[in-house]
Amino acid sequence: MPIYEFTCEQCGHEFSVLVRRMGDSAACPECHSEHVKRRMSGFAAHGGKTGSGGYAPT
């Protein structure tokens, strides 16, 4: 289940929501408005141990 980041268009609050299905709607936890806009968010990639010559973060 992906976590999406939103900004409320009514009060400006930024929040994250764990979305179960693509069609699920989100409401602002501060003002309860459903006028929210999904934000572009970054993601983290975790490196792992690799074979010889590979990259493994320290």
pLDDT, tens digit, 9 for 90 and up, residues 7-43:
999 999 999 998 887 777 889 999 999 999 998 766 6
Residue 9 contacts residue 33 (beta carbons within 8 Å) = yes
- Residue 11 is assigned to a structural domain of this protein: yes
pTM of the model: 0.62
- Residue 48 is assigned to a structural domain of this protein: no
- Residue 12 is assigned to a structural domain of this protein: yes
pLDDT of 43 reads 62
End-to-end CA distance of the chain: 29
Residue 11 contacts residue 17 (beta carbons within 8 Å) = no
What average pLDDT does the segment 37-55 reach? 66
Range of the domain at 35: 3-39
- Residue 50 is assigned to a structural domain of this protein: no
pLDDT of 56 reads 62
